[in-house]
Chains A and B, each alone.
Chain A
Amino acid sequence: MKLLIIEDEPDLLESIVRYFENAKHICEHAKNYIIAEDKIAGFDYDIIILDITLPDGNGLNLLPSIKESQTDCGVIIVSAKNALDDKIAGLDLGADDYITKPFHLAELNSRINALLRRNQFKGDNTLVFNEIELNIKTQEASINKKLLVLTQKEYALLLYFITNKHRVITKQSIAEHLWGDYMDMADNFDFIYTHIRNLRKKIHELDGEDYLKTVYGLGYKYTDHN
């Protein structure tokens, strides 16, 4: 996948680039409005990550030209939290999704993948991880073709894990992914145990392998590596 990351803060940019390059994606970047404009006009991208607070212009103003010169490109805008106006303006101008600072890379990754699936497969494809198959359109999971009956949260959890496979995901990012903004005030994320435990149990019942590894106090890793 070819990504364009428009971000003026170098440290942020580096973290994002490093993450996605690790996942074997092609990353290009622009640190201000002018460079961004240039790149958008000249090249094609699958996904554009756009921070709207750029030093030399409002990132939102790039959206019309993105819509014009890019085909099937998903745009995620990065804004400050509770900046409702920015969010609405961005979505109105053609952005596909938004994420607020500070964010988890796992969350960003999850959103980008969802966008890609929508744009390139029109939401009709399957995500496969070994014997587990997730049908994106029907939101159904199966192990070795046998239907895995999951609740909405359990499905979302499994999708999140598979999308972010082989990486340590923190409990907080899981909580925020499933329960949204309300969770930034919770001081304790142990309540996610229940859902994780139930998911594990259901997979076990269908003789599926448990790829979910607990990583000390940090979080979980969904992987088949050892």
Chain B
Amino acid sequence: MKLLKKTNRYYLLFTSIILTLASTLLFITLNFVSEQQDELNLHTRQEQVINQIRKNGTNPYLPPYIEVKEIPKLINSENRLGETHIYNPIENEKEEYTELIIDKKIKDKNYRIIIRNSHVDADDYVFSILVIILILFGLMLGGLAIINSLISSKVWSVFYVNLAKIQKFSINQKEPIKLDDSNILEFTELNKAIEKLTNTTQSEFKALKEFTENASHEMQTPLAIVQLNTENLIQDVTLNESQSKMLEKIGNATNRMSSLTQGLLLLAKIDNQQFGIDEQVNVSDTVNTQITFYNDLFDSKKLTFTSNIESNIFIKGNHLLCQILFSNLLNNAIKHNINKGKITVILTPKMFKISNTGTEPKVKTNQLFDRFKKSSSLNNSVGLGLSIVKKISIYFDWRISYLYEKGEHSICVFF
């Protein structure tokens, strides 16, 4: 749940409890004070009435407030406090009264003195006060919630802006991350920490990429030296068969190493975004050219080749990378094919599909595009081909999928 909601919930719960307690307490206190006042009032009036009777001998009679009756005998000479309901003809309803009753002997006569006070006013007061307090508390709560919302969304907006920036961040991007400032301490601290983290990771990543590129690059020269010296060595006419074989193996291994470093270098360059993607590439032509180049390889394995290539399909991308992509896919289809197998190529404005017959892959499908995972035991394949294909697809934002069904591998590239 959102932070706002959570904190609000706690505030509201806490405030409600406090306010409920406070209102209850207030109510009880007001009532108590009111009753105390009432009692005091009754006692005072009682005193006044007793004095009046004593002095003037008159029997005050003001029902229901004051009732004095002569009684033959004193029944209860203690003060009795009670509640009673009396009908008020003016208001036409029964009203509540507190009454103080005492039986007293004044100047040789026995009197029952009843003093009454109406609750109504006091009750009304208490009720009004309570209502006002409750409304006030209600406003407070409501106001608290609203102000909380308004201020919080203003305060949190910076957070959300920065959150979006962080979500869009890629370690590979050229610029470092730039977060919006805030005058809230926690957010500033967080900003600084994130900027430091991303800057460090970016520079380390860049260093790693440069290292890979440099290493691959540096390897070209020793490889060239091996190759050239081997080429000079094989000119020697006194070589015997076993020596020739060894030189052949050296030659092959050097080729594989060369392929490998070229591939790694290419991957590093793509990572480095060293290839533009603004060219309008005639994909139909590219595919057809590649196929022409590979014709001889088709023949050598006696492969049947069928194709359905729509012409004049143009896609935004990079010429060289497109060539490499299709070349790798074709090469792969030939390499992992069986003798007298077949290859099918389909090209539409939406996708490129290549299928080839072949044995079941030994590697999990989702790992096929990882570096160096080879799907068959062909020792000579370097294993980078498909990962280059994958990287180029990602670079161009093309989706790629692989399927093995009924003895055929199919790779589909969606533009």
Do A170 and B231 touch across chains, with their CB atoms under 8 A apart? yes
| Contacting residues, chain A, for B254 (C-beta < 8 A) | 102
**Nearest A residue to B251, CB-CB:** A170
Do B259 and A185 touch across chains, with their CB atoms under 8 A apart? yes
Q: How large is the interface on A (under 10, 10 to 19, 20 to 34, 35 or more residues)?
A: 35 or more
Check if B220 is an interface residue, CB within 8 A of chain A: yes
- Of the candidates B244, B258, B290, the one whose C-beta lies within 8 Å of that of A182 is B290
| Contacting residues, chain B, for A186 (C-beta < 8 A) | 297, 331
Distance in Å: Cβ of A87 to nearest Cβ of chain B:
11
Distance in Å: Cβ of A137 to nearest Cβ of chain B:
25
- Of the candidates A19, A185, A191, the one whose C-beta lies within 8 Å of that of B296 is A191
Distance in Å: Cβ of A82 to nearest Cβ of chain B:
6
Check if A179 is an interface residue, CB within 8 A of chain B: yes
Check if A146 is an interface residue, CB within 8 A of chain B: no
Do B234 and A215 touch across chains, with their CB atoms under 8 A apart? yes
Do A187 and B378 touch across chains, with their CB atoms under 8 A apart? yes
Check if A25 is an interface residue, CB within 8 A of chain B: no
Kindly specify which of B161-169, B175-183, B379-387 makes contact with the partner chain.
Answer: B379-387
Do B293 and A216 touch across chains, with their CB atoms under 8 A apart? no
Number of interface residues of B (CB under 8 A): 47
| Contacting residues, chain A, for B294 (C-beta < 8 A) | 182
Do B293 and A219 touch across chains, with their CB atoms under 8 A apart? no
Do A102 and B227 touch across chains, with their CB atoms under 8 A apart? yes
**Nearest B residue to A191, CB-CB:** B300
**Nearest B residue to A18, CB-CB:** B232
Kindly specify which of A8-16, A36-44, A59-67, A116-124 makes contact with the partner chain.
Answer: A8-16
- Of the candidates B224, B265, B266, B331, the one whose C-beta lies within 8 Å of that of A102 is B224
Q: Which of A15-44 contact B (CB under 8 A)?
A: 15-16, 18-19
- Of the candidates B224, B226, B297, B335, the one whose C-beta lies within 8 Å of that of A103 is B224
**Which 3 pairs from chain A and chain B are nearest by CB?**
A187-B380, A191-B300, A102-B224
Q: List 13 additional A-B contacts (Cβ < 8 Å) besides A19-B228, A170-B231.
A: A15-B228, A15-B232, A18-B232, A80-B265, A81-B220, A82-B262, A105-B228, A168-B234, A173-B231, A179-B296, A188-B380, A216-B239, A218-B248
21 A–B pairs (Cβ distance < 8 Å), ordered by A: A9-B224, A11-B229, A15-B225, A15-B229, A81-B262, A84-B320, A101-B220, A101-B223, A102-B220, A102-B254, A103-B227, A167-B235, A182-B293, A182-B294, A184-B259, A185-B385, A186-B331, A191-B297, A195-B296, A216-B241, A217-B245
